[in-house]
Amino acid sequence: MTGLEFEKPVRDLQEKIAELKKFTSTSEVDLSDEIEKLELRLKKLEDDIYNSMTPWDRVQMARHPNRPTTLDYISYLFEGFFELHGDRTYGDDAAIVAGIAKYHGQPVTVIGHQRGRDTKENIQRTFGMPHPEGYRKALRLMKQAEKFNRPIICLIDTKGAYPGKAAEERGQSEAIARNIFEMAGLTVPVICVVIGEGGSGGALALGVGDRLFMLENSTYSVISPEGAAALLWKDAGLAKRAAETMKITAPDLRALGIVDEIIPEVRGGAHRDAKRQAELMDEVLKPAIKQLLTMEQTSLVDQRYEKYKRIGGYAEQTTGLKD
Amino acid sequence: MAIKNMFTKQKPKKIKYATIPSEAAKQDVPEGIMQKCPKCKKIMYTRELQKNLHVCFGCGYHYPMRAHERIKSLLDEGSFRELDAGLSTANPLQFPDYEEKIAADRKKTGLNEAIVTGVGSIDGYPSAFAFMDSSFRMGSMGSVVGEKITRAVEEAIRLRIPFIIFTASGGARMQEGVLSLMQMAKTGAAFKRLSDRGGLIVSVMTHPTTGGVSASFASLGDFNFAEPGALIGFAGRRIIEQTIREKLPEDFQTAEFLLKCGQLDAVLHRSEMKEKLSFLLDIHQTGGGER
């Protein structure tokens, strides 16, 4: 199992318990009392460590190589997912997967960033960093969902839009901007869930909706902590500090009022049990979709507008501080 | 040293004292009165340059233009009514040193923030306007910029008039973190609202228009224009070069490059800006904003 640095004490203790267990089974000495004590200590240690994760710990968790991806969650959450391809103009971007499926019997359109699960797949999917055709495919299928009155579920998991020459030539900016613009006006419910990293405009291009949920150990930011540190303090090594200052974790964003609800994670991170994690997502998604489906189309769009209109912190000379 | 020179008397070398040019002298011209074009090095009178809308007489280089100068150069005299001048940042993330930086830029620019918004007219055609000013925090977009644009768009909806924006921005403002990112969604949603009501939207991208600003409202006009030579793009040149491991062409992400790629309706020289905007406003009097 791939472990993270802050989890080392847990791993050490687990190894020690395993050792003692092995020793007990092969020798005359009975250490079961000792083992029991250690297991209690392990539980307490896990509580301590996983309940006091720093923003940087969460960044590591969000980037964990084994963290479940969009396709993993799709396989657990939806029935009959039917993947659809292409933007009808240029190509098919494998950094975004999209298709139709059923969610508890309800037809839905599902769209998400897709990282690779190994190097080969990562190259094919450009590490989950989309080109304009990826965003345009997403938009095409969102418009299709609107036509057939299907709710849309977007799973966000990207370091950002792909920074490449071809991407710029084909209008990366315009593609992201267009998605934001069109998503603001969709007359069907849109639910967005950050499942890993939510990187900047590349994430937001699938992120304008009626509800924004975040997995407990996911991040959402205007720039990566490394990028922020390099830009602000000319030192990418200060990423840890940037992760704290920039407020990029689910709890921080909940406090800022940007995230509607945090989806709790399996203890030790979603990668420990993807199936159980999907169940935890289901518990939040299901009532949200049900509730949004009762709303009128126009009030849905108006409410979405008001939701974004409220975001921001500024002072107004005449009326004082407004939040 | 050549051999024949060994027999000639060496003249004592004249001692030269190094003179270190002052910062002002380095610019070759007295500050204020004259200016040197950063591109073709032509030296021009500042006042003449101002009259020429800050466009170099030699090579046509478009200098960055301050918001109030644009207003003066485009709008009917006395027609501009500024909106929300009192909005200022509240440092929502309590970001260290942020307030000091804002205070310094306020003093430097005489502006409250990186944008001036309002309502005015061009050749008698009314419109709402937003002018970004890159001399304030590189024109970066935080909560105030997002809110001012959104309110100006709402004013356009209320008055049933078009909305014209001049962008000049390095992108999202780091010190407001994800709140800056969300301004992309907020302004985008406001543009959609105006657009759905038939309102005309014109975006003129000036140097520079990059990152989160180019990836939101700047690219969302019914007409997307740019000034000659303006840098426009999503990702920065250096990061792209590092990612694709090749050198990018000199003109990459310039207005002309984007025009060639099909990303712009036209590149407009500053001298024709007013005339072209006036024509657009005229054409959209029936339908569009007046619907």
Q: B22-46: per-residue pLDDT in tens? A: 554 554 545 588 999 999 999 999 9
pLDDT tens column, B76-116: 999 999 999 999 999 999 999 999 999 999 999 999 999 99
Alpha-carbon distance of A199 to A212, in angstroms, equals 15
> What is the per-residue pLDDT for A24?
83
Cα B249 to its chain centre, rounded Å, is 23
Q: Does A180 contact B179 at a Cβ distance shorter than 8 Å? A: no
| DSSP H/E element including A314 | strand A314-316
Q: Smallest CA–CA separation between A100 and chain B, in Å?
A: 25
- Nearest CB among B144, B174, B192 relative to A223 is that of B174
Residues of A in contact with B248 (CB under 8 A): 165
> What gap in Å lies between CA A226 and CA A238, rounded to an integer?
7
Phi, psi at A116, each rounded to 5° = -85, 155
Question: Looking at CA atoms only, how far is residue B268 from chain A in angstroms?
Answer: 19
> What confidence score (pLDDT) does residue B19 get?
62
Q: What is the ipTM of this complex?
A: 0.92
Q: Which positions in chain A touch B95 (Cβ < 8 Å)?
A: 245
Q: Chain A residue with minimal CA distance to B192?
A: A181
Rounded distance, CA B126 to CA B148, Å? 19
Q: What angle do CA A289, A290, A295 make, to 5 degrees?
A: 90
- Strands B81-83 and B232-233, bridge-based pairing: unpaired
- Please give the pLDDT value at position A322: 42
The pLDDT of residue A3 is: 79
- In this prediction, residue A237 carries a pLDDT of 83
B201, B234, B260, best to mutate vs chain A, most A CBs in 10 Å: B234
**Integer Cα distance of A69 and A105 in angstroms:** 23
Contact predicate A197/A223, CB 8 Å: no
- B110 to B115, B117, B175: CA distances (angstroms): 12, 15, 21
Nearest-by-CA chain A residue for B146 = A312
The torsion defined by the Cα of A176, A181, A184 and A187, in degrees rounded to 10, comes to -110
- The stretch B226-235 carries a mean pLDDT of 97
- Contact list in A for residue B175 (CB cut-off 8 A) is 232
Question: What chain A residue is nearest to B98 in terms of C-alpha separation?
Answer: A232
CB B75 within 8 A of CB B82: no
Residue of A136, A180, A190 to mutate, interface with B, max B Cβ within 10 Å:
A180
Quickly tell me which residue has 């014109």 as its tokens: B202
Chain A with chain B: Cβ pairs closer than 8 A: 195
**pLDDT at position B291:** 43
Q: Using the structure block, give the residue that is written with the tokens 């924006």.
A: B165
List Cβ neighbours of A212 (8 Å cut-off, separation of 6 or more). A192, A193, A194, A258, A259, A260
Statement: residue B290 has pLDDT above 50: no
Residue B14 C-alpha, separation from nearest chain A C-alpha, in angstroms: 45
Which is nearest to A70 in space by CA: A61, A80, A78? A78
d(CA A95, CA A71): 11
CB contact under 8 A, A245 and B234: no
Per-residue pLDDT of chain A (323 residues; tens, 9 = 90+): 467 889 999 999 999 898 888 888 888 778 888 888 898 999 999 888 998 899 999 999 999 999 999 999 999 999 999 999 999 999 999 999 999 999 999 999 999 999 998 999 999 999 999 999 999 999 999 999 999 999 999 999 999 999 999 999 999 999 999 999 999 999 999 999 999 999 999 999 999 999 999 999 999 999 999 988 988 888 878 999 999 999 999 999 999 999 999 999 999 999 999 999 999 999 999 999 999 999 998 899 999 999 999 999 999 986 444 44
Which candidate, B134, B168, B225, B210, places its Cα nearest to that of A201?
B210
Residue B260: closest C-alpha in chain A: A169
Distances (CA, A) of A203 to A55, A220, B44, B154: 19, 8, 46, 26
Task: Measure CB to CB from residue B261 to each of A162, A169, A247 and give the nearest one.
Answer: A169
Q: Which of A309, A314, A317, A318 to mutate to test the interface with B (most CBs of B within 10 A)?
A: A314
Of A228, A304, A312, the CB nearest to B146: A312
pLDDT at position B5 is: 62
Instruction: Render pLDDT for A142-180 as a digit per residue (tens, 0 to 9).
Output: 999 999 999 999 999 999 999 999 999 999 999 999 999
Burial grade of B6 (CB within 10 A; 0-12, 13-18, 19 or more): exposed
- Closest partner residue to A248 (CB to CB) among B88, B178, B233 is B178
Q: Nearest Cβ partner of A221 from B86, B178, B184?
A: B178
Question: Under an 8 A CB cutoff, do A173 and B196 touch?
Answer: no
CA separation, residue A284 to residues A30, A33, A77, A193 (Å): 46, 41, 12, 10
What is the predicted pLDDT for the residue at B287?
47
The C-alpha angle with vertex A76 and arms to A70 and A78, in degrees rounded to 5, equals 85
Which residues from B are below 8 Å from A165, CB to CB? Answer: 240, 244, 246, 248, 252
Contact A246 B144 (CB under 8 A): no
Interface touch A173/B188, C-beta < 8 Å:
no
Structure tokens at A284: 């939040």
Which of A161, A174, A246 shows the shortest C-beta gap to B177? A246
Q: Rounded mean pLDDT of B136-163?
A: 97
* CA of residue B291 relative to chain centroid, distance: 31
pLDDT at B1 over 60: no
CA distance A222 to chain B (A): 5
Half-sphere exposure of A17 (CA within 13 A, CB side): 16
Which amino acid belongs to residue B107?
K
The pLDDT of residue A321? 45
Q: pLDDT value at position B4? A: 64
* pLDDT > 70 fraction of chain B, expressed in percent and rounded: 87
Whether residue A232 and residue B174 make contact (CB cut-off 8 A), yes or no, is yes
Radius of gyration of chain A from its Cα atoms, rounded to whole angstroms = 22
Q: Does the distance separating the beta carbons of B178 and A220 come in below 8 Å?
A: yes
| Facing residue for B181 by CB, picked from A169, A222, A314 | A222
Nearest CB to A168: which of B185, B216, B233?
A: B233
Evaluate whether B29 touches B46 at the Cβ level (below 8 Å).
no
A225 sits in which H/E element: helix A225-233
Burial class (CB in 10 A: 0-12, 13-18, 19+), B33: exposed
